[in-house]
A and B are shown apart, each in its own frame.
Chain A
């Protein structure tokens, strides 16, 4: 899974990880073999409790593996000092950040610790590096702001800037999108993918945003419920059904056509829908939300829906039991369906 222009930064063989207590060990994942190269943007997906965070923590050297060898830049983990490791790996976790009297710049400058002397004094080069890092995540205006006054998105940005200032070849991110709203998530994933490619950093990012991972990752790593780690291109995993296997549950269906999961329902009611464009798409979504199935066969349909569109207005027409109803908005449509639901279903029966 590596390209010829890549250098491998992290090589892992026969890794087993989990939690070890005195008399028993709880194995989460075992016999993992993989490598991460420079400029590789990898998204790690898996349901809760499958060991995503544990894997990332083990790779970050925070948690000791139960078995296996880890090598960074060709050197085994055990022979790498914390300072040396800090120059090779940076992390962005959603841990509590320090609160209070720390401004964005001071926080980002902590990323230069592996390069500064015992006093922590920063050279001109260090300052230039911090500025570059802040600039690449467009966080210059956060320099003088206190961390406690930042929003979750801003804090995430400044955390990434801090990690970038570390100038490591590998960056591990544990659910960086967790506390962000949707636009901010998309923005963050794009940013990380671009940084990864531009700065030739290997990135391993765990996330629950399947959709975003499918769109942005160079490679996907899937942890299956059986504790297996599957690696591959997003497209391949979607096509060969492995993605479906990793996430599908009783109430969830993978739709290969749309590339997303749907809650599945046994539709008891079917309707027809005629219309085009976004209005038809969102009407369809509204029907799905109400639990109505869409059919092309008028004989199966309880009622038929037609969308009539003029320049910038849309009207909906429903024919039910030889009667025609007109609606000016999706809301009116939904109100009518809801209030007539029992009647419609009764008729159906």
Chain B
């Protein structure tokens, strides 16, 4: 992972040597001021973002797969990303054309507005689903989450239908996902949110193990099922919502990383799976971003496409080796 991180720091539209990178970070006077700025203000936050986002999505995916006992669950099953995309769609497609030209060139303040909009959107669906989570059983909750996603997705489609082409373009490029929009000031919110989410997860390792048996059994071995479910969903949605808010909807990592962790460590115990997913998720995420930025290219490919292109073959390969899905999931 360190290797990939270093590669990620070195490669970019301006290839730099590892030596330069370290000099830039340590503030050595030998390094050009511009290079130093590229490294510290662009490449480092980007690496940190991709690591944190990967870890967050992988952990959130793991929790969702466990709580819904479904190998296809991902961090967004409860509609967090559709909520976020609705917020963003409102800002880009409605507010901006209505005269608020903040998002004109996707400049810094525009970025902030998008982050705020998507975070509010994600938080809104989160509150909606969590308020239901204590009242209905877990399978109904899964269906409710899906339905909310569809409904919000439909509203986004309607917004898109009435929008101007160039607005549509910037909305679509948001939906590609990008780690490059986080400045150090954003990081001050982004990193703590993710750390809080991950800490909650670590507190619920034992209930997560118990929930593998289903809620009845979990309750019977002393798990406070409803409370555990609430906090697990809260932390999973916080993680997924934060990432979506800051980086756009990043698919696939959340579903792939937990499966790979189970495959690598051959276990279902969350004491191992949580750290493993964090590690695998961060590594996958960093590699995907490295590929997306295409060493030596001036543009970057849609991150979402890359995560799926890298992830899908890995999962298929693991499955074929493992013979059947049943054994990979646990």
B208-238 contacts to A, CB under 8 A, are 209-210, 212-214, 216-217, 219-225
Query: C-beta contact mask, A204-231 vs B, less than 8 Å → 1, else 0?
Result: 0000000000000000000000000000
CB of B205 within 8 Å of the partner chain: yes
CB of A141 within 8 Å of the partner chain: no
Q: Which residues does A use to contact B, with CB under 8 Å?
A: 57, 60-62, 81-87, 89-91, 93, 95-102, 106, 110-111, 113-114, 116, 118-120, 146, 148, 166
Closest to B228 in A: A82
User: In the assembled complex, which residues on chain B have CB atoms less than 8 Å from the CB atom of A83?
Assistant: 222, 224
User: In the assembled complex, which residues on chain B have CB atoms less than 8 Å from the CB atom of A166?
Assistant: 221
Q: How far is the CA of A114 from the CA of B326 in the complex (A)?
A: 28
User: In the assembled complex, which residues on chain B have CB atoms less than 8 Å from the CB atom of A91?
Assistant: 216-217, 220
Closest to B269 in A: A106
Q: Which residues does B use to contact A, with CB under 8 Å?
A: 69, 203, 205-206, 209-210, 212-214, 216-217, 219-225, 262, 266-269, 271, 326-330
> Contact partner of B209 among A85, A110, A114, CB < 8 A?
A110
User: In the assembled complex, which residues on chain A have CB atoms less than 8 Å from the CB atom of B217?
Assistant: 91, 93, 95
Least distance between B320 CB and chain A CB atoms (Å): 16
> Contact partner of A98 among B203, B220, B268, B271, CB < 8 A?
B268
User: In the assembled complex, which residues on chain B have CB atoms less than 8 Å from the CB atom of A87?
Assistant: 222
Contact call A95/B216, Cβ cutoff below 8 A: yes
Q: How far is the CA of A83 from the CA of B269 in the complex (A)?
A: 20
Interface centre among A82, A85, A87, A97 (most CB of B within 10 A): A82
Interface centre among A98, A111, A116 (most CB of B within 10 A): A98
Contact call A120/B209, Cβ cutoff below 8 A: yes
Contact call A113/B214, Cβ cutoff below 8 A: no
Lowest 5 A-B CB distances belong to which pairs?
A100-B330, A86-B222, A101-B330, A114-B222, A83-B222
Closest to A166 in B: B221
Asked if A110 meets B203 with Cβ closer than 8 Å, knowing A82-B219, A100-B326, A100-B330, the reply is: no
User: In the assembled complex, which residues on chain A have CB atoms less than 8 Å from the CB atom of B327?
Assistant: 99-101, 146, 148
> Contact partner of A102 among B206, B212, B220, CB < 8 A?
B212
User: In the assembled complex, which residues on chain B have CB atoms less than 8 Å from the CB atom of A89?
Assistant: 220
Q: How far is the CA of A230 from the CA of B122 in the complex (A)?
A: 55
User: In the assembled complex, which residues on chain A have CB atoms less than 8 Å from the CB atom of B221?
Assistant: 86, 90, 110-111, 113-114, 166
Q: How far is the CA of A86 from the CA of B218 in the complex (A)?
A: 10
User: In the assembled complex, which residues on chain A have CB atoms less than 8 Å from the CB atom of B326?
Assistant: 99-100, 148
User: In the assembled complex, which residues on chain A have CB atoms less than 8 Å from the CB atom of B268?
Assistant: 98, 100-102, 106
Least distance between B158 CB and chain A CB atoms (Å): 34
User: In the assembled complex, which residues on chain A have CB atoms less than 8 Å from the CB atom of B267?
Assistant: 101, 106
Sample (17) of A-B pairs whose CB atoms are under 8 Å apart: A60-B216, A81-B222, A82-B224, A85-B222, A87-B222, A95-B217, A100-B326, A100-B328, A101-B262, A101-B266, A101-B329, A101-B330, A106-B268, A110-B209, A111-B221, A113-B206, A148-B326
